[in-house]
Amino acid sequence: MARLKLGVLVSGRGSNLQALIDACRDPAFPAEVALVVSNVAGAPALERARAAGVPSETIPHRGFPSRAAFDAAVDGRLRTAGVGLVCLAGFMRLFTPEFVAGWRDRMLNIHPSLLPAFPGLDPHGQAIAAGVRISGCTVHLVRAAMDCGPIVVQAAVPVLPADTPESLGARVLAAEHRAYPLAVRLFAEGRVRVAGESVTIDGADWDAAPTLLCPAGP
């Protein structure tokens, strides 16, 4: 069976891109990274793509007269590459509702909190300030509103008494690198079913739902 083609959109260092590239190196993994697009020239993520031999390019958002024009350029490039699933991996732009609608239920994002808790900026600082004992990350389908959409996979990590946003962030990031490939695998295997704003996973009991529990240690 043909592997699902991924289009990964990045703006920064690309550690989640690297996790997807590493997962796709396994011939048994049911997806491949077909294209990496960055809106930032010189983003470290682009070097990761080049090192892995993955096609990549920069589409600078400042070169377009509007968000819609930029979105149309990205959309066209993804479709030319035959992308079946878009993965946002630290992509620091909000898309127009029209772009989101065009990729409805075929575009994933990862956010470093257990959504719907702590959306937006500084989720680790929000979690520490709130005094929660558990935080984590969420892979979800993208909707027009920021950090909203049906949840596919979550990974939970403990919040330790001495945590700073940086130490908690490092722990959550390690969980992200497990959660994103799992979510992609579920999609590529055709096991994700979307009904409105909820997701069910074929072959998974409630007790075996895709939630990862990650320890405090390395």
Which residues form the catalytic set? 111
Let me know: does 217 contact 174? Beta carbons within 8 Å: no
Let me know: does 69 contact 34? Beta carbons within 8 Å: no
The enclosing H or E element of 124 equals helix 123-130
Sign of CA pseudo-dihedral 70, 76, 23, 51: negative
Identify whether 27 is preceded by a cis peptide bond (ω within 30 of 0). no
Q: SS3 helix, strand, coil % of the chain, rounded to 5?
A: 35, 25, 40
Q: Nearest CA to 182 among 201, 210, 142, 205?
A: 210
For the chain, where are the E strands, in sequence order? 4-10, 31-38, 56-58, 85-88, 107-111, 134-141, 151-158, 192-195, 198-201, 211-213
Q: Nearest CA to 125 among 157, 96, 168?
A: 168
Q: How far apart are CA 195 and CA 120, in angstroms?
A: 25
